[in-house]
Amino acid sequence: MTMPYETILIVVLVLPFAGSCLAAFLQSNARNAEAWLAGAISLICLMLLVVSYPHIVNGGVIRHTVEWVPELGLNFYLRMDGFAWVLAALIASIGFLVVLYARYYLSPQDPVPRFFSFLLAFMGAMLGIVLSGNLIQLVFFWELTSLFSFLLIGYWYQTAQARDGARMALIVTSAGGFCLFAGILILGHIVGSYDLDRVLASGDKIRAHSFYIPALVLILLGALTKSAQFPFHFWLPQAMAAPTPVSAYLHSATMVKGGVFLLVRLWPALGGTNEWLWLVGSAGLISFILGAFIALFQQDMKGLLAYSTISHLGLITLLIGLDSPLAQVAAIFHLMNHATFKASLFMAAGIIDHETGTRDLRRLSGLRRFMPITATLAMVAAAAMAGVPLLNGFLSKEMFFAQTIETHDNSLLDQALPYIVTMASMFTVAYSLRFIAEVFFGPPPRELSRTPHEPPFLMRFPVGLLVLACLLVGIVPGLTIGPLLRTALHAVLGDAIPTYSLAIWHGLTPEFLMSLVAISGGVAIYLTFRSYLLVAEGPPLLRYIQGQRIFDRVLVAVSWQFARRLEELLGTRRLQPQLQLLFCAALLVGLAPMFAHGIEFGGEARTSFNVAFALIWAIGCACALAAAYQGKFHRFAALIFVGGAGLVTCVSFVWLAAPDLALTQLVVETVTTVLLLLGLRWLPKRIEKFPAADPPERDSSWRRFRDIGIATAFGAGLGALAYAVMTRAEPDSIARFFVENAYALGGGTNIVNVILVDFRAFDTFGEITVLGIVALTVYALLRRFRPAAESISVPEQQHSQDLYDEAQPTREKGDTLRSAMTIPRLMMALLFPVICTTAIFLLLRGHDLPGGGFVAGITMAVAFILQYVARGTTWTEEHLRILPVHWMGAGLLITACVGAAAWLFERPFLSSSFSYLEVPWIGSIPLASALLFDIGVFALVVGATVLMLIAIAHQTVRSHRTPSSRASAASPTAEVG
Amino acid sequence: MSMMLAWSVTTAQILLGCAMACAAFRILRGPRAQDRVVGFDSLYVNAMLLLLTFGIRTGSTLYFEAALIIALLGFVSTVVLAKFLLRGEVIE
C-alpha cells in the first residue's frame, strides 16, 4: 500500500459519508445491496486503520491539516494517536458486525435505504469525533452524532414511543452539546488555541485559570449527557424504541462512549483537581449504583440492558474520576470490554425479540431448548458482564476494584468506596443472572405467537464473533488486548505508563475477594427476590421519581405554558400596536443619546435657496400629507398621492446629483404602483355605516392625535439627524477607497455599480438570493390564497359594461373593453421592444454610467407586465412564455458560476477581472467579469418581479372559475413556474 | 453659459415648478378619480421637462437619459391607474 498515511485519515472519514449519500439513493427494498455497501465501507475503513497501525504504535501520531480559517486559528485537523485508533477500530469493526446483523434484523417492509444511510453517516460522524484534532471540529461531529442518533431512534416514526424517545434523546444530548461547545470555547480562550495538542500540553495553565470551573462544568455537562450519566441518564432507556442494531451500535458500543472518550481525552488537561474527582467521580458512582439497581427491576430485555449500560458507563466514569493513571488504564480497558459484551447482548436480545415477538422477561422462558447456540453465546456475554473469571469483564472489573481500594482524598466516602462498589456489583451480577435465567431456563414459554428457533447463521455470526473476543481477552489477555491497550495508554498517558498486569490470576488479593463477594452476593440476591422481581412494577421507592417524567413536565412548562403566557402578555396580531411599539422603541433609543449628549449641527456651507426646488418640495410634502390623510378611506387617491411624492423624491435625487439613485427610484415607483393596484383589487370596499355599532364606537380622535404625535416626532427626529450629519464635514470613511479604486481595481467608472457587483459582490449575491427566496415565498403563499368574500365577485365596472354589451344586439360581451383598449394596446405592443432595448442598454453600460442589473431587471419586468395589462393573462401566456422561475434559477446559477470561476484562476470567490474587447464597427468595449455577474442579477430581478406581480394577477383568472373546475384544473400559475 | 441662458433656464424651472403645482392641485383636489390620474400624468410630464432644464444648465447628457426613462416609463403608472378605473382591475 503506497497511500500516504495522511490520506488514509481523510478516506476513513469521508468514506462513510459518501457511502451514506449513495445508500440513500438505492431502492427501498435493496436490503442486500445496502448491506454489501455498508459492510464493505466499514471493512475498508477497518483495513485502512489496520494498515496505519504501525505508525501510531509507541506514541506515534498521524496528522493531517487542511487550512480552513487560518486567521482565526481554525484548521481542519485530523489527528490519530493510539487511543483514537482503538476507538476508531472499535467503531469500524462493530459497525461491520451491526450492518451484518441489521441485514437479517430488518424486515422486508422496512425502508432500508434510510436506515443504512443514517447508520453510515453516524459512523462517519463518530469517526470524526475520535479523529478530530481541533476541538471545534470535534464539537461539530459531536452534534452530528446527536442528530443521527435522533434520526435512528425515530426510524420507526409511526410509533409514538419512537418519536418521544428520539425527541428526548435529541433535546438532552444536543443541549449537552451546546454546553460542551460553550465549554470548549472557554477552554480555547484559556489556552489560546483549539488545537488538541496544545490544549493537552497546557494542563497546568488551564487548572490555574479562573475560568477553570465554568469550563470544566460545561464540558462535563456535554460528556455526561452523551454518556447518559446521572442525572441525565433518563434518555437512554427511552432511546430503546430504536431498532436493536441501533441500540447495539449507538447506545451501547459507540455513541454513549463518546462522553467517556472525551473525558479520557481531556483528562490530562482538566483532571488532577478535587473538582474533577468529586464531579466526575460522584456522577459515575451514582450512575453505577442507580443503573445496576434499576436494571434488576426491568421487565423489558432492552430496558434491562439500557440501565446496565448506564451502570457500566458509570463505572468507567467513576474510574476516570478517580484521577490516577492506573484508573485510566482500567477505564480504557473496561470501555473496550463493555463494547464487546454489551453489543453482543443487545444483538442476542434482538434475536430473541425477532424469533419470539416479545422482549418481556415475564413472558419468556426456557428458550435454551429452542435456540441452544444463541443461548450459549448470550450466557457467556452475560457472564462477562457480571464479571465472571476467565472472561474480559472480570479482568477490567478486578482492576476497577483495585482502584477503589486505593486512597484518593481519604474522605469518608473514599474509605467506604470499596464496600459501596462491591454492593453495586452484586446487583450487576443479579441482573445478569436474571436476564439469563428468565429467558433461557425454566419451563418452555407459553402464550407465544410462534415457535422460536435459531436465527440464520449470519445473524448469529456477529454475536459469536464478539463473544469469542470476550473469551480470548478473558483467557489470554496479554496476547490479544495487551498491545492495543498499551498503544492506547501511550497516547493518553505519554511515556509515564504505570505498571499494570493483565494476568488472570494475581493471587488471593482483596480485589479478587471483592469479585467473589459480588458474585456470591448477586446470586443470593437473585435467588431471594426472584418471585418478587417478576411482579414488581419498577424498583421500590425509585419508581415514583422518574427522570423522564420530570423532563416532560419541565418541557411542557417551558415550551407550552410559559410560552403561551408570554405570548398573551406581549404578543398581538394587529399591525397597528406592533408598529406603534416598534416606532416608540426606536424613538426612545434615538432620543436617549440626544438627551445625554445633546445634538450639534456642523458648520458646513449650506446650499443656497432655489425657488423651483422649494416649490417642488412643497408639492412633495403636500402629496405625502394627503396620502397619510386619505390612506384609510380613499386608497386609490392615496396611491396617486404616494406616486406624486415619489416623483418629487426622484427629481430631488437628480437635483442633488444622484442620477443612479433617481433612475432606480423611478422604475421602483412604477412597479410599486402596479403592485399596489393589483393588491387594491382584492381589498374589500369601505363599509360606510355599520349597522348599529354595538358596543358604541369609541371616539378615535385621541388615538389619531397620539399617532400623529408619534409620527411627527419620528419624522422630525430623522430629519434632525440627517441635517446634523449633512452639515458636518464628511469623515474619512471607506467611501474614499471606493472612489479612488473603482476604476483601477474594478474596471468601471460607475462607482455605485462597481461596489455592487465587484467590491461588495458577495453582499449582492446574498441579497439576490434573499430576493429569490422572497419571490418564491410570495408565490407559494398566493397559490393557496383565497380573497375575501366581499371582493371575490367581478368588479362593478366590468359587470355594468358586460350588461351593456349583452343588452345591445350588435355587440358582443367584451366589446367595450376591446374598443377602449384598441389604441393603448397597440402602443404597449409597439413599446415592448423599445423597453426591452432600454433594459439591455441600461444593463450593458451599467458598469460605467448610471444603470446596472437591478434597474435593467425591473425595466424588463415592466415590459412584461405591460403586455399583461394590455392583453390580459390568458392571451399573454398563450403568446409569451416568460417562465419567471427559470429566469431566477438562471440568474442565481450565473452569479454563482461567475463567482466560482475565480477559483479556476486560484483567486477567492467572486474575484473579478476586466479587459477590453475590440468589436468591429462598435469599437473597443470594456469587458469585465462583473458584467456577467450583473447579467445574473438582471435575470433574477426580472424573474422575481414578474413572479410576484403575476402571482397576484392570477387571482383574477382563478376567481373567474367555478368552484368545481377550480378544484380539478391545475393552477394557472403552474404555467408561469 | 451666457447670462441670457442662465436666466431663461431659471425662469423655465420656476414656471415648470408652477405647472407642477397646478397639476398637484388637481391631484389633491380631484374631484373625480379621473381628474387625479390626469393631474398625475401631467406631473410626470412636467418633471421630465424639468430634468431637461437641468441638462441644459449642467451640459451633462445624463439628465437627458433620465428624462428619456421618465418619458418611456412614466406613462406606465398612468396606464395602470386608468385601466384600474376602467375595469376595476389591472390585469384581467
Q: What is the pLDDT of residue A107?
A: 87
Q: What is the pLDDT of residue A977?
A: 36
Q: What is the mean pLDDT of residues A403-422?
A: 86
> The cell 479556476 sits on which residue?
A904
Cell numbers at residue B34, please? 379621473
Q: Comparing C-alpha atoms, which of A944, A961, A948 is closest to residue A783? A: A948
Instruction: Pick from B52, B53, B76, B78 the residue to mutate for testing the A interface (most A CBs within 10 Å).
Output: B76
Taking an 8 Å cut-off on Cβ atoms, the answer to whether B90 and A862 are in contact is: no
Q: Who among B21, B68, B81 is closest to A677 (CB)?
A: B81
Q: Residue A965 pLDDT > 50, yes or no?
A: no
Q: What is the pLDDT of residue A426?
A: 94
Which residues in chain A have their CB less than 8 angstroms from residue B47's CB? 647, 650-651
- H-assigned helices in A389-502: 392-405, 412-440, 457-475, 477-480, 482-493
Is A290:A232 a contact under the CB 8 Å cutoff?
Answer: no
In a domain, B34, yes or no: yes
Q: What is the pLDDT of residue A787?
A: 78
Q: pLDDT, tens digit, for every residue of A87-97? A: 999 999 999 99
Q: Residue A974 pLDDT > 50, yes or no?
A: no
Which residues in chain A have their CB less than 8 angstroms from residue B28's CB? 622-623, 626, 641
Both A348 and A481 in a single domain?
A: yes
Which band of pLDDT confidence, cut at 50, 70 and 90, is reported for residue A966? Answer: very low
Taking an 8 Å cut-off on Cβ atoms, the answer to whether A623 and B28 are in contact is: yes
Spatial separation of the C-alpha atoms in residues B6 and A29, rounded to whole Å = 86
Taking an 8 Å cut-off on Cβ atoms, the answer to whether B89 and A956 are in contact is: yes
Query: Is A494 in the B-facing interface, judged by CB distances under 8 Å?
Result: no
Q: What is the mean pLDDT of residues A786-806?
A: 83
Which residues in chain B have their CB less than 8 angstroms from residue A622's CB? 24, 28
Q: What is the mean pLDDT of residues A578-605?
A: 85
Q: What is the pLDDT of residue A471?
A: 92
% residues pLDDT > 90 (chain A): 46
Å from A710 to nearest chain B CA?
25
Helix (H) or strand (E) run with residue A916 in it:
strand A914-919
Spatial separation of the C-alpha atoms in residues A887 and A943, rounded to whole Å = 5
Both A431 and A555 in a single domain?
A: no
Q: What is the pLDDT of residue A115?
A: 93
Residue of A nearest to B64 (CA): A659
Q: Who among A637, A824, A838 is closest to B36 (CB)?
A: A637
Q: What burial letters (b/e) apply to B33-49, b meaning 16+ CB within 10 Å?
A: beebbbbbbbbbbbbbb
Spatial separation of the C-alpha atoms in residues A269 and B72, rounded to whole Å = 73
Is omega for the bond preceding B31 within 30 degrees of 0, making it cis? yes
Total domains in chain B come to: 1
Which one-letter amino acid corresponds to residue A801?
A: Q
Which residues in chain A have their CB less than 8 angstroms from residue B43's CB? 619, 644, 647
In a domain, B92, yes or no: no
Both A460 and A550 in a single domain?
A: no
Taking an 8 Å cut-off on Cβ atoms, the answer to whether A797 and B88 are in contact is: yes
Is A287:A310 a contact under the CB 8 Å cutoff?
Answer: yes
Spatial separation of the C-alpha atoms in residues A196 and A80, rounded to whole Å = 11
Give, rounded to a whole angstrom, the gap between the first and last alpha carbons of chain B.
52
Q: What is the mean pLDDT of residues A4-28?
A: 90
Helix (H) or strand (E) run with residue A727 in it:
none
Q: Comparing C-alpha atoms, which of A954, A958, A966 is closest to residue A884? A: A954
Which band of pLDDT confidence, cut at 50, 70 and 90, is reported for residue A695? Answer: low
Q: pLDDT, tens digit, for every residue of A17-63? A: 999 999 998 888 888 888 999 999 999 999 999 999 988 888 888 88
CA distances in angstroms from A697 to A27, A364, A598, A700, A937, listed in the order given: 66, 75, 43, 8, 51
Number of Cβ pairs < 8 A linking chain A and chain B: 155
Longest dimension (CA), chain A: 120
Spatial separation of the C-alpha atoms in residues A443 and A460, rounded to whole Å = 24
User: At residue A656, what are phi and psi to the nearest 5 degrees?
Assistant: -90, 20
Both A548 and A473 in a single domain?
A: no
CA distances in angstroms from A227 to A118, A216, A259, A262, A312, listed in the order given: 20, 16, 5, 10, 10
Spatial separation of the C-alpha atoms in residues B9 and A711, rounded to whole Å = 38
Q: Residue A604 pLDDT > 80, yes or no?
A: no
Q: Comparing C-alpha atoms, which of A299, A213, A321 is closest to residue A538? A: A299
Q: What is the pLDDT of residue A961?
A: 57
Q: Comparing C-alpha atoms, which of A146, A175, A226, A241 is closest to residue A555? A: A175
Which band of pLDDT confidence, cut at 50, 70 and 90, is reported for residue A595? Answer: confident
Spatial separation of the C-alpha atoms in residues A86 and A12, rounded to whole Å = 14
pTM, to two decimals: 0.70
Spatial separation of the C-alpha atoms in residues A162 and A149, rounded to whole Å = 12
Both A521 and A547 in a single domain?
A: no
Q: What is the pLDDT of residue A923?
A: 66
In a domain, A492, yes or no: yes
Q: What is the mean pLDDT of residues A826-848?
A: 89
% residues pLDDT > 90 (chain B): 50
Q: What is the mean pLDDT of chain A?
A: 87
Q: pLDDT, tens digit, for every residue of A227-242? A: 999 889 899 999 998 9
Give, rounded to a whole angstrom, the gap between the first and last alpha carbons of chain A.
54
Which residues in chain A have their CB less than 8 angstroms from residue B11's CB? none
Both A518 and A545 in a single domain?
A: no
Q: What is the pLDDT of residue A279?
A: 93
Total domains in chain A come to: 3
Domain termination site, one of A540, A558, A587? A540
Q: Comparing C-alpha atoms, which of A403, A404, A398, A368 is closest to residue A386? A: A398
- The residue count for chain A: 977
Q: What is the pLDDT of residue A697?
A: 57
Q: What is the pLDDT of residue A962?
A: 46
Q: Which segments of A47-104 are extended strands (E)?
A: 62-69, 74-80
Taking an 8 Å cut-off on Cβ atoms, the answer to whether B66 and A654 are in contact is: yes
Q: Comparing C-alpha atoms, which of A86, A120, A432, A111 is closest to residue A249? A: A120
Both A442 and A546 in a single domain?
A: no
Q: Residue A729 pLDDT > 90, yes or no?
A: no
Give the count of alpha carbons within 13 A of A717, CB side only: 19
| Domain boundaries, position B69 | 3-87
Both A421 and A548 in a single domain?
A: no
How many C-beta atoms lie closer than 10 Å to residue A622's C-beta? 19
Taking an 8 Å cut-off on Cβ atoms, the answer to whether A644 and B40 are in contact is: yes
Cell numbers at residue A970, please? 391545475
Q: Residue A555 pLDDT > 90, yes or no?
A: no
Query: Is A590 in the B-facing interface, judged by CB distances under 8 Å?
Result: no
Q: Who among A611, A678, A838 is closest to B91 (CB)?
A: A678
Both A427 and A554 in a single domain?
A: no
- H-assigned helices in A574-658: 575-597, 611-630, 635-655
CATH code of the domain containing B19: 1.10.287.3510
Spatial separation of the C-alpha atoms in residues A586 and A663, rounded to whole Å = 31
Which residues in chain A have their CB less than 8 angstroms from residue B86's CB? 797, 817, 820
3-state DSSP percent of chain B in helix, strand and coil, to 5? 85, 0, 15
Both A302 and A396 in a single domain?
A: yes
Query: Is A666 in the B-facing interface, judged by CB distances under 8 Å?
Result: yes
In a domain, A346, yes or no: yes
Q: What is the pLDDT of residue A337?
A: 93
Taking an 8 Å cut-off on Cβ atoms, the answer to whether A659 and B50 are in contact is: no
In a domain, A392, yes or no: yes
Taking an 8 Å cut-off on Cβ atoms, the answer to whether A677 and B90 are in contact is: yes
Is A688:B87 a contact under the CB 8 Å cutoff?
Answer: no
Q: pLDDT, tens digit, for every residue of B9-54? A: 999 999 999 999 999 999 998 789 999 999 999 999 999 999 899 8
Which one-letter amino acid corresponds to residue A87?
A: L
Spatial separation of the C-alpha atoms in residues A751 and A749, rounded to whole Å = 6
Query: Is A796 in the B-facing interface, judged by CB distances under 8 Å?
Result: yes
Q: pLDDT, tens digit, for every residue of A71-91? A: 777 888 999 999 999 999 999
Both A777 and A880 in a single domain?
A: yes
Q: What is the pLDDT of residue A41?
A: 94
Q: What is the pLDDT of residue A964?
A: 42
- Of A144 and A915, which is predicted with more confidence? A144
| Domain boundaries, position A555 | 541-570
In a domain, A95, yes or no: no
In a domain, A874, yes or no: yes
Which residues in chain B have their CB less than 8 angstroms from residue A663's CB? 66, 69
Q: What burial letters (b/e) apply to A14-34, b meaning 16+ CB within 10 Å?
A: ebbbebbebbeebeeeebebb
Spatial separation of the C-alpha atoms in residues A875 and A184, rounded to whole Å = 63
Give the count of alpha carbons within 13 A of A920, CB side only: 0
Cell numbers at residue A744, please? 483601477
**Residue A712: is it exposed, middle or buried by C-beta count within 10 angstroms (0-12/13-18/19+)?**
exposed
Both A901 and A812 in a single domain?
A: yes
Query: Is A868 in the B-facing interface, judged by CB distances under 8 Å?
Result: yes
Which band of pLDDT confidence, cut at 50, 70 and 90, is reported for residue A851? Answer: confident
Cell numbers at residue A961, please? 372559475
CA distances in angstroms from A962 to A678, A795, A798, A801, listed in the order given: 22, 16, 18, 21
Q: pLDDT, tens digit, for every residue of A188-223? A: 999 988 999 999 999 899 999 999 999 999 999 999
Q: Who among B54, B80, B83 is closest to A654 (CB)?
A: B54
Q: What is the pLDDT of residue B57?
A: 85
In a domain, B78, yes or no: yes
- Of A806 and A467, which is predicted with more confidence? A467
Which band of pLDDT confidence, cut at 50, 70 and 90, is reported for residue A693? Answer: low
